[in-house]
Amino acid sequence: MGYGSGELIIRSYNAQNDRVRVEGLESICEVGPADKPFLFTDTLGDPICRIKNSPIYNMLVAELGGQLVGVIQGTIKLVTLHKPPKNVAKVGYILGLRVAPAYRRHGIGSRLVTKLEEWFVACDVDYTYMATEKDNEASYKLFVNKLGYVKFRTPAILVNPVNHHRSSQISSNFKLTKLKIEEAESLYRKYLSSTEFFPIDIGNILRNKLSLGTWVSYPKGETWGKVPTSWAMLSVWNSGELFKLRLGNVPISCFMYTKSSQLIQKFLPCFKLPSIPDFFNPFGFYFIYGVYGEGPLYGKLVKSLCNFVHNMASSRPKDCKVIVTEIGGNDTRSKLHIPHRKSMSCSEDLWCIKSLKNEDRKSVHKLTTVPPTRALFVDPREV
């Protein structure tokens, strides 16, 4: 494909030369359909912030006639995946694909993905996967129609705005305990290690400074030492330390409603108008991962834990405006009890997968046809 203004060069990201230009590119690239509200990412001066907590990572840039016109990022790790005999696979995750609007539909996006796949192959990766909103037509067509990815899973992204003026209720019938990192790691290995995409290096996630902790909840009167009759667990990751989000392309009516609801809350707090936080200025968020539990009270226990996380967010940084939880698409029990605002949530995020090894081509078909396990592990490092 000819590019008019010269040869397309795809090379590794160089912080010194590319940092400002990559941030500039990010700020002009909307993700998703142009007629819908979308989120801009502000990487706070460090474009590789979204991948640098992963064990192995890479960022490629596309240059045309001296202009930086595209970017892509990738990470590699070992996860649980149906791949007999060991059920462990090396997976490459693709994220942050952006092509400058003026240079789209010239094959640059495809070239970036192909180059990243070459790096994955050199690193002996079994499968590569990516996540996209299901109505991001450009992304879906590029990966599925053009590059041979197949639809794999559809997790739900649940978004709950943080109310900095009001605490959420926590049932006095339940006990909430923060686990030590070693306790959390053994809990994960005991109950979640067979979950799809469970990262083998879970210890690194739990020890990362962005991990705020792992909490469990169980009925009062029971002890954690002896597995309680019902229990729930979750961990929290402070994504806002790494990067901020900002809403763009919002209908003016929504903007006015947000502003007026905030003013009313501020000056007439007795009005019960639900306050929508200001998403037009950069904001941070907490990411809840590792949601799991057992027993008849699981739903109430998980709700209590989520309310606890809400209160932690509302009493801490003012810029933590939402709490995001991503769970397996068929984990209806958790979905029912995790507090979230439907209008801000996405019931079907789309994960697509592709095998990079010939012998695994058939197993990818099997992976996509095997019903998913209830829980799906969403790595907070890949948010």
Ligand X SMILES: CC(C)(COP(=O)(O)OP(=O)(O)OC[C@H]1O[C@@H](n2cnc3c(N)ncnc32)[C@H](O)[C@@H]1OP(=O)(O)O)[C@@H](O)C(=O)NCCC(=O)NCCS
Q: How far is the CB of 184 from ligand X (least distance, A)?
A: 31
The least distance separating ligand X from the CB of residue 100, rounded to whole angstroms, comes to: 8
Taking CB under 6 A as the criterion, which residues in 75-114 touch ligand X?
97-99, 104-110
Question: Residue 88 in contact with residue 16, Cβ under 8 Å?
Answer: no
CA–CA gap between residue 239 and residue 318 (Å, rounded) = 14
Supply the DSSP symbol for 48: T
- The smaller minimum CB distance to ligand X, of residues 102 and 270, is found at 102
Residue 105 has which token pair? 């539909």
| 80 CB burial (10 A radius; 0-12, 13-18, 19+) | buried
Task: In angstroms, give the least distance from the CB of 113 to ligand X.
Answer: 8
In the complex with ligand X, the residue whose CB is nearer, 136 or 368, is: 136
Classify each residue of 166-198 as buried b or exposed e, where b means 16 or more C-beta atoms within 10 Å of its C-beta.
eebebeeebbbeebeeeebbebbeebbeebbbb
Position with the least CB separation from ligand X: 109
Shortest spacing between CB 332 and ligand X, in angstroms = 26
Which of 82, 146, 165, 207 touches ligand X (CB under 6 A)? 146
Per-residue contact flags (x/-) with ligand X for residues 296 to 335, judged by CB under 6 A: ----------------------------------------
Please, which of residues 119-138 interact with ligand X by CB under 6 A? 130, 132, 136-138
Closest distance to ligand X from the beta carbon of 143 (Å): 8
- Of the candidate residues 43, 58, 139, 211, the single one contacting ligand X (CB under 6 A): 139
d(CA 342, CA 5): 46
Identify which of residues 185 and 382 has a Cβ nearer to ligand X in the complex. Answer: 382
For ligand X, which is the closer residue by CB, 29 or 301?
29
Chain residues 10-39 in contact with ligand X, contact rule CB under 6 A: 29, 31
Q: Which is nearer to ligand X, 32 or 240 (CB)?
A: 32
Quick one: which of 11, 141, 259, 362 contacts ligand X (CB under 6 A)? 141
In angstroms, give the least distance from the CB of 266 to ligand X.
Answer: 36
Task: Work out how close the CB of 66 gets to ligand X at its nearest, in angstroms, rounded to a whole number.
Answer: 18
Name the one residue in this structure whose structure tokens are 């209590």: 304
Taking the complex as a whole, the smallest distance from the CB of residue 138 to ligand X amounts, in Å, to: 3
The shares of helix, strand and coil residues in the chain, as percent rounded to the nearest 5, are 30, 30, 35
We find the least distance from the C-beta atom of residue 248 to ligand X, in angstroms, to be: 12
Q: Name residues whose C-beta falls within 8 Å of residue 249's C-beta, 6 or more positions apart in sequence.
A: 30, 34, 35, 36, 37, 38
Q: Is residue 204 at the binding interface for ligand X, with CB under 6 A as the rule? A: no
Closest CA to 43 of 326, 238, 239, 207: 239
Question: Of 71 and 324, which has the nearer Cβ to ligand X?
Answer: 71
202 belongs to the binding site for ligand X (CB under 6 A): no
Instruction: Report in angstroms how near the CB of residue 146 gets to ligand X at its nearest.
Output: 4
Of 54 and 258, CB closest to ligand X: 54
Question: Closest Cα to residue 62, out of 113, 20, 105, 137?
Answer: 113
Task: Give the contacts of 54 (CB within 8 A, at least 6 positions apart).
Answer: 75, 76, 77, 93, 381, 382
Minimum CB distance to ligand X smaller for 72 or for 356: 72
Q: How far apart are CA 192 and CA 194, in angstroms?
A: 5
Q: Does 142 bind ligand X (CB under 6 A)?
A: yes
Q: How crowded is residue 311: how many other Cβ atoms within 10 Å of its Cβ?
A: 17
Give the burial class of 221: count Cβ atoms within 10 A of its Cβ; 0-12 exposed, 13-18 middle, 19 or more buried.
Answer: exposed
Size of the site for ligand X (CB under 6 A): 22
Task: Give me the DSSP letters along 153-199.
Answer: E--EEEEEE--TT-PPP--TTEEEEEPPHHHHHHHHHHHTTTSBT-B
Residues in the site for ligand X, rule: CB under 6 A?
29, 31, 97-99, 104-110, 130, 132, 136-139, 141-142, 145-146
